Amino acid sequence: MHVLVVGVSHHTARLETRERLALDNEAASALLRELVAGGAVAEGVALSTCNRTELYLAAADLDVAERAAVAVLARRAGLAVAALHALVYTHRDGAAARHLFAVASGLDSMILGEAQILGQLRRAAALAAEAGVSGPVVERLVREAMGAGGRVRERTGIGRASVSVSSAAVELARGVLGDLVNRRVLVVGAGKSGEVTAKALSAHGVKVVVLSRCPKKAAGIAAATDGVGGGLEDLARELARADVVLSATSAPQPVITRDDLVRAFAAREGRPLLAIDLAVPRDIDPAARDLDGLTLFDLDDVQARADENLEARRAHLGAASAMAADEADHFEHWRAGLGAKQTVSELRQRADAIVAGLLDDNASRWEGMTEADRDRVAMLARAVASRLLDEPTRRLKASAAASDDAALDAARALFGLDASASAQRALAG
């Protein structure tokens, strides 16, 4: 059984194409069932995120499996097979395992070292199992890749420093104020950036106040983060009370003016204020930077921190990549060993069947032999067959350890095992 990955990602396809290939749960299950039912694939898992759609497949014939997988993906995207071929990548056996282990370790992500992919892989594996299209090979592949991804993050620094803008902003705030748990944090803006920022704060145990021109939307974000929501009419009061304000609106002019901050400081009784402006155009009037007690960071400051963190992660890329590849090689040795075990087992079954057949054919000629004599002849025949198979068995296992599928394929062809297996399957059917 071979392993194949067929996919597209942010490395090979534009967002428009990735959207056309995106798979929800129902589509992923249907696509995998189609491949398995068609006989081209024995097992499969579909991984679909905003940055990639990948099929991890186990199949006896990789060429057949690849053609079938590309065809169903092309139909899904409404593209000609030839057009999709220019965008998809394929990896086989050891390369397929190394690719997934790198993906699980966050080494192939748009944001280096991100950990969200582990949860996405877990859900993809569960979905394949529910759809009845999983199996021992892809289950072990995904399970070991997820384990390796966790160990890579634990033993290297590939995922330690925050590199998203929102997380870097929270890091800046913690760098200035220390623990934020007992601080009053104000988030201005209920768009995507404000929502992500509120969630990043919530992950650090902070209860936030979210204000927006749309109080209902602010309340929804606040509720999801165990905070409080409201409208911009509450801005003056919250500026006077907050320890930190993070602003991320899409307003065309400053939402927080210098005069707003002057009035806020008059009511703050000398307490300092940390302000982080994540908006473009800026939400907080840069002219307020000279106010006593105000520490103001803008998006360039936050991005600089994110870039520093990304460089810190990149410093661990070599070690993380080597570790992921080494763990992928362990899986590949196991997968290749399956072929050797199956081939050796079928070869010995074939030899046992030949011995049994010869003994049965000659049973009538041994009328003068005692039962003990017959047993000794049978034992001798089986011993000869076993001795003849000892060296081929060792060499087949060595070929498997070296991931030499060609040797296994040659052995199966030489001894006619594929034909035998096909005949047995036909009889079983």
Instruction: Quick: pLDDT tens for 243-295.
Output: 999 999 989 899 999 999 999 999 999 999 999 999 988 999 999 999 999 99
Answer yes or no: do 36 and 106 share one domain.
Answer: yes
In a domain, 71, yes or no: yes
Answer yes or no: do 97 and 133 share one domain.
Answer: yes
Task: Pick the more confident residue, 3 or 350.
Answer: 3
Split into its structural domains, the chain has a count of 3
Answer yes or no: do 144 and 175 share one domain.
Answer: no
In a domain, 195, yes or no: yes
In a domain, 152, yes or no: yes
The mean per-residue pLDDT over the stretch 342-350 comes to: 73
Answer yes or no: do 132 and 208 share one domain.
Answer: no
Confidence of residue 374 (pLDDT cuts 50, 70, 90): confident
In a domain, 410, yes or no: yes
HEC letters along the chain = CEEEEEEEECCCCCHHHHHHHCCCHHHHHHHHHHHHHCCCCCEEEEEECCCEEEEEEEECCHHHHHHHHHHHHHHHHCCCHHHHHCCCEEEECHHHHHHHHHHHCCCCCCCCCCCHHHHHHHHHHHHHHHHCCCCHHHHHHHHHHHHHHHHHHHHCCCCCCCCCHHHHHHHHHHHHHCCCCCCCEEEECCCHHHHHHHHHHHCCCCCEEEEECCHHHHHHHHHHCCCEEEEHHHHHHHHHHCCEEEECCCCCCCCECHHHHHHHHHCCCCCCEEEEECCCCCCECHHHHHCCCEEEECHHHHHHHHHHHHHHHHCCHHHHHHHHHHHHHHHHHHHHHHHHHHHHHHHHHHHHHHHHHHHHHHHHHCCCCCHHHHHHHHHHHHHHHHHHHHHHHHHHHHHHHCCCHHHHHHHHHHCCHHHHHHHHHHHHC
**Distance between CA atoms of 6 and 324, rounded to whole angstroms?**
20
Categorise residue 56: left if φ over 0, alpha if ψ from -120 to 50, beta otherwise: beta
In a domain, 173, yes or no: yes
Answer yes or no: do 10 and 147 share one domain.
Answer: yes
Catalytic residues: 50
Q: Which one of 160, 184, 202 terminates a domain? A: 160
Answer yes or no: do 41 and 128 share one domain.
Answer: yes
Q: What is the CATH number of the domain that holds 182?
A: 3.40.50.720
Q: What is the CATH number of the domain that holds 77?
A: 3.30.460.30
The mean per-residue pLDDT over the stretch 122-132 comes to: 96
Answer yes or no: do 26 and 151 share one domain.
Answer: yes
In a domain, 33, yes or no: yes
**pLDDT at 85 exceeding the cut of 70:** yes
Question: Among residues 60, 50, 44, 154, which one has the least CA distance to residue 100?
Answer: 44
The mean per-residue pLDDT over the stretch 414-423 comes to: 55
**Percent of the chain residues past pLDDT 70, beyond the cut:** 92
Q: Using an 8 Å Cβ cutoff, are 43 and 141 in contact?
A: no
In a domain, 317, yes or no: no
Confidence of residue 426 (pLDDT cuts 50, 70, 90): very low
pLDDT at 367: 73
Answer yes or no: do 120 and 58 share one domain.
Answer: yes
Range of the domain at 12: 2-160
Q: Which one of 119, 135, 160 terminates a domain? A: 160
Answer yes or no: do 246 and 345 share one domain.
Answer: no
Q: Which one of 127, 160, 193 terminates a domain? A: 160
In a domain, 318, yes or no: no
Answer yes or no: do 8 and 138 share one domain.
Answer: yes
Tell me the whole-structure pTM to 2 decimals.
0.67
**pLDDT at 422 exceeding the cut of 60:** no
Answer yes or no: do 272 and 250 share one domain.
Answer: yes
Answer yes or no: do 199 and 224 share one domain.
Answer: yes
